[in-house]
Every structure is written in structure tokens, then in C-alpha cells.
């Protein structure tokens, strides 16, 4: 029987995060698609839940060998655990390794995004980091999205107030996604914005879509989904999510083509199944049980020693 998955012949162009520059964007008119007629109410409700579960991750630096970036994260646990990409979270590795204040990272929320929380690294894929140690120095880094996962834990509030007792979140789905499945997609897309607009006027990008193709990193597993073109197919969307009608995370945005009009691009997301398999292969433990059984602070503390090792590796690879 034919393989039901499309083979990844070559890495897609990866858009890890929007590089914050002073360039003024060219104006573009974005016409959002309407919600699909089937399941429209459920998708709309799921989109609303996703909207309140998105965060904008901003990391700024004055280091001439690095650049400031804006990316997305998705809360998957009510205690403030954020799922994002390793290519974004590697800034947290460097932040804890380089001299104090070389890199500053903040978690922003809302519409427009405003500085809300501080966060620390609870996990980053060592497999991804060791396979892609120099992406921060590459102008057009490329990748497939394989193993591109990390988890941040919210540790404090910018205002100094106590943290909420409950964060809105979308849980990681245990259901297998399928072709043509209707989804709701959300991110803090930022490619069309200048640095000033990213700072003051960054709003969530929320769209409806469907799974248009499926890919595998092995022979049989559904690892990566194509979500086609939409307003979310921009720099800055990495770490955003695709959710099903039950408001469960079925895909974590990792890569996108960035040439042509937004609706001619191809946005891709790794599946919840791949996230679990990758974490298990990297750590020897279950993703669900590991993060559910420990407090956010314990998760951060436990990962601290490994973060130090990865930080030394990354700074050497980048010549910092």
C-alpha cells in the first residue's frame, strides 16, 4: 500500500521568530476567511479559548552578534506552562549563560500585547539544539520542525503582583489529526510590522483553516501538518497553535514559507503526537506525566543543570 504521508525531501524555510528591525513594512490588505460552515460554532469557541491562551515572547539584546526577536507561545497548563519552539526558547538558554542584562526576555499578553510576566526555561529539546547550534547567526535558517519544542514556566509578574491562580490554556490533544480537519489557528504574527509597531501595536492573528497535507519524519507517524496559506503564515507565528473543535492543541506552528502573498504560503505545525514522541526520545519520560507531576518551579530547578550545559555548548557554537 502507498505511504499515506508526504516525504520531506528538503527542509522548509524556517521562520523562527520575527526579527525586530526598524524597517517600515509595506502595506498589505488581509482578507480573513470566514469560519467553515461545518462545526463553525465549535471552531469559533475554540478560537476564543486559543486567543486567551496565546502569549507573545519578546527577547531583546544589545549584543552585536545577536538580534532581538518576537515569537509566540501557547499555554497548555493552567499553572502557567508555555509550549513554544526550541528556536525561540534558545534565547532563554543564552539569557541564563551570558552576562546579566545581555538578553532580556518578557512574556506579553493581550491585544495589543503588553508586558505581563517573567518566565524561565523548564525544558528545551537538546536534540534540536545540538542539531541546529548556529541558527541565531543565519539570515535564513532552514528546518523541518522536527524536535523543535521547548517549555517555559511563568515565574513572576512584571507588575510585582501575585500570579493568577489559573491561566487560560489549551491542553495537548490525544486525538490523531486527519486530512481536511477543520482547525482554528492563532499566533502573534509580526512580519508586516516595524519594530515600533511590534512594541506598541502587536495583536493576535486568529484565523480558521484546515489540515491540507501530512508529513512524517519516520515511516508511519503523523509528525507535521500543512495548514496552507493565511494571515498566520508570517514571521513571529512560531510557537502559535492549531486547535480542534474541542479547543485542544493538535499542532504547534514551527515553519512557514515567507515569499509571495500570505494566502499562497505554506504554514506548518508539528503534531501533538510528535511533541510527545520527541520529548520521550530526548528524556526517556512521558511528556504528560513529567509536566503534570511537578510544580512549575520544580520543573525549572530540575532543568537548571542541563540548561547550563546547553548554554555552554550554544555560546561556544555561536562564538559568544
With respect to residue 317, please indicate whether it lies within any of the assigned structural domains.
no
* Integer CA distances (angstroms), 88 to 14, 18, 57, in order: 12, 10, 8
Number of domains composing the chain:
1
Please say whether the dihedral angle defined by the alpha carbons of residues 7, 138, 249 and 274, taken in this order, is positive or negative: positive
pTM: predicted TM-score of the whole model, two decimal places: 0.88
User: Which residue shows C-alpha cell 526555561?
Assistant: 121
Q: Which of 205, 204, 212, 146 is nearest to 183 (CA)?
A: 212
How far apart are the C-alpha atoms of 53 and 108, rounded to whole Å?
A: 11
> Quick one: pLDDT at residue 30?
40
With respect to residue 318, please indicate whether it lies within any of the assigned structural domains.
no
| CATH code: domain of residue 294 | 2.40.10.120
With respect to residue 17, please indicate whether it lies within any of the assigned structural domains.
no
**φ, ψ at 154 (rounded to 5°):** -65, 125
User: Which residue shows C-alpha cell 481536511?
Assistant: 180
Neighbouring C-alpha atoms within 13 Å toward the C-beta of 18: 32
Neighbouring C-alpha atoms within 13 Å toward the C-beta of 14: 24
With respect to residue 213, please indicate whether it lies within any of the assigned structural domains.
yes
Does the N-terminal peptide bond of residue 236 adopt cis geometry, omega within 30 degrees of 0? Answer: no
- How confident is the prediction along the chain (320 residues), in pLDDT tens digits per residue? 333 434 333 344 444 444 443 333 333 334 445 555 568 889 999 999 999 999 999 999 988 888 888 899 999 999 999 999 999 999 999 999 998 889 999 999 999 999 999 999 999 999 999 999 998 887 777 788 999 999 999 999 999 999 999 999 999 999 999 999 999 999 998 765 557 667 777 889 999 999 999 999 987 899 999 998 777 777 788 999 999 999 999 999 997 765 666 666 789 999 999 999 999 999 999 999 999 999 999 999 999 999 999 999 999 999 98
Query: Is-contact 296 80, C-beta < 8 A?
Result: yes
Please give the residue range of the domain that contains residue 193: 6-12+29-312
Non-local (6+) Cβ contacts of 56 within 8 A are: 70, 71, 72, 73, 107, 108, 109, 113, 188, 202
> Quick one: pLDDT at residue 228?
86
With respect to residue 80, please indicate whether it lies within any of the assigned structural domains.
yes
With respect to residue 113, please indicate whether it lies within any of the assigned structural domains.
yes
With respect to residue 1, please indicate whether it lies within any of the assigned structural domains.
no
With respect to residue 254, please indicate whether it lies within any of the assigned structural domains.
yes
Query: Is-contact 290 280, C-beta < 8 A?
Result: no
SS3 131: helix
Amino acid at each position: 500500500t502507498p505511504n499515506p504521508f508526504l516525504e520531506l525531501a528538503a527542509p522548509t524555510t524556517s521562520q523562527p521568530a520575527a526579527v525586530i528591525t526598524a524597517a517600515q513594512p509595506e502595506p498589505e490588505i488581509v482578507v480573513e476567511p470566514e469560519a467553515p460552515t461545518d462545526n463553525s460554532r465549535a471552531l469559533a469557541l475554540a478560537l476564543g479559548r486559543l486567543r486567551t491562551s496565546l502569549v507573545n515572547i519578546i527577547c531583546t539584546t544589545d549584543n552585536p552578534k545577536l538580534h532581538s526577536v518576537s515569537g509566540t507561545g501557547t499555554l497548555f497548563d493552567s499553572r502557567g506552562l508555555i509550549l513554544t519552539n526550541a528556536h525561540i526558547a534558545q534565547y532563554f538558554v543564552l539569557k541564563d549563560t551570558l552576562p546579566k542584562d545581555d538578553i532580556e526576555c518578557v512574556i506579553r499578553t493581550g491585544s495589543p500585547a503588553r508586558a505581563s510576566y517573567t518566565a524561565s526555561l523548564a525544558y528545551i529539546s537538546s536534540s534540536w539544539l545540538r542539531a541546529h547550534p548556529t541558527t541565531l547567526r543565519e539570515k535564513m535558517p532552514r528546518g523541518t520542525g522536527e524536535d523543535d519544542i521547548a517549555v517555559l514556566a511563568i515565574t513572576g509578574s512584571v507588575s510585582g503582583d501575585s500570579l493568577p491562580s489559573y491561566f487560560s490554556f489549551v491542553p495537548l490533544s490525544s486525538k490523531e489529526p486527519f486530512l481536511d480537519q477543520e482547525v482554528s489557528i492563532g499566533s502573534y504574527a509580526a512580519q508586516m510590522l516595524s519594530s515600533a509597531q511590534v512594541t506598541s501595536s502587536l495583536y493576535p492573528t486568529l484565523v480558521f483553516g484546515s489540515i491540507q497535507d501530512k508529513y512524517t519524519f519516520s515511516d508511519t507517524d503523523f509528525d507535521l501538518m500543512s495548514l496552507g496559506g493565511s494571515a498566520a503564515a508570517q514571521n513571529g507565528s512560531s510557537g502559535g497553535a492549531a486547535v480542534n473543535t474541542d479547543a485542544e492543541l493538535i499542532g504547534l506552528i514551527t515553519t512557514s514559507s515567507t515569499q509571495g502573498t500570505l494566502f499562497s504560503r505554506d504554514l506548518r505545525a508539528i503534531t501533538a503526537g510528535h511533541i510527545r514522541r520527541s520529548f520521550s526520545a530526548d528524556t526517556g519520560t512521558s511528556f504528560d506525566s513529567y509536566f503534570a507531576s511537578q510544580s512549575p518551579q520544580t520543573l525549572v530547578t530540575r532543568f537548571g543543570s542541563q540548561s547550563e550545559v546547553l548554554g555552554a555548548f550554544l555560546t561556544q557554537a555561536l562564538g559568544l
